[in-house]
Amino acid sequence: MKKIFMSLFIMTAFLLTAHAATYDAASRVETIGANLLTKNSIPASNIKFEVTDKTVDNSSFVDDRVVSISKSDLAYAGNDNEVAAVVANELGHIITGHASKDRFVSSITGDTAAVSGVASELISNYKYTKEEKEADVVAVNLMANAGYNPLAAVVVLTKQTSTYWDALKAQPANAERAMNIYDYANYAYPNSVKSGYSCIEYKNFLAYANDVVAKRKVDSAAQEKLNKELQKYRKDSVSQISKFRTRGGLSFWDIILGIFRGE
């Protein structure tokens, strides 16, 4: 019996390794990207997707209609749901207009930072986390509407390398963003959360998330604050997608930047 069990274990491990080796995430980007757009009623005919080794910068999307996807991020995607998570996050940044907002602000204020050192780093980190959360929430909507499991966004984040700080706090990689995605998915798409996601990374994350949720239950103020945040996320993200659609693929900040440039 032990020999049979061991043989099955080895065979399963081999098949999983073979699947991971044969799945080509980059080759799926164009198809999945187009599906995310069309299933959300966003015209996709003039939008292209590219995979890049460089740091992703989609600030030129308003001009060239190209969505750049990080090859390094795709390294954590082992199936179509997870590729959708990576692509939808970049679309989330474009739909919320983060890059165009930065270009507009830089055009007015210049590139000289008003603060420096630790204060500057704290502001930068806060801005990064805030924008990633906004993009993640939009991504969850895009994924759910297109038939992808939004929990894949949690998995892609928690597959990444944990920091020493993560280990010290006994939490998974990118825990704050992953928890935000989980909370929003639970609020907006509860059936997806009930269905779960079959992989060890999600199982490990769920152990962490369940502890967080249990602690919230005894803190009514924290729970009320979260509920208000989730309601605002839902309202804002649905509105941003809708307006991006009706504007023909332009965010609010794309419009503002165009007006500033005299277009």
Q: Please measure the distance between the N-terminal and C-terminal CA atoms of the chain and give it in whole angstroms.
A: 74
What pLDDT, in 10s, does the model give residues 137-165? 999 999 999 999 999 999 999 999 888 78
Residue ranges with strand state E in 60-159:
66-70
Query: What type of residue is 8?
Result: L
**For position 116, what pLDDT does the model report?**
52
Question: What integer is the mean pLDDT of 31-52?
Answer: 95
CA distance 68 to 164: 30
**For position 16, what pLDDT does the model report?**
43
**For position 182, what pLDDT does the model report?**
98
**For position 106, what pLDDT does the model report?**
80
pLDDT beyond 60 at 19: no
pLDDT beyond 60 at 120: no
Question: What integer is the mean pLDDT of 221-225?
Answer: 92
Weakest mean pLDDT among 55-69, 70-84, 96-110, 231-245: 96-110
pLDDT beyond 70 at 198: yes
Contact 42, 249 (CB under 8 A): yes
Mutual orientation of helices 200-217 and 220-246 as an angle, nearest 10°?
Answer: 120
Tokens found for residue 30: 């164009």
Model pTM score = 0.86
Q: Which has more pLDDT, 73 or 258?
A: 73
Residue 228: other Cβ atoms inside 10 A = 10
pLDDT beyond 60 at 113: no
Contact 49, 66 (CB under 8 A): yes
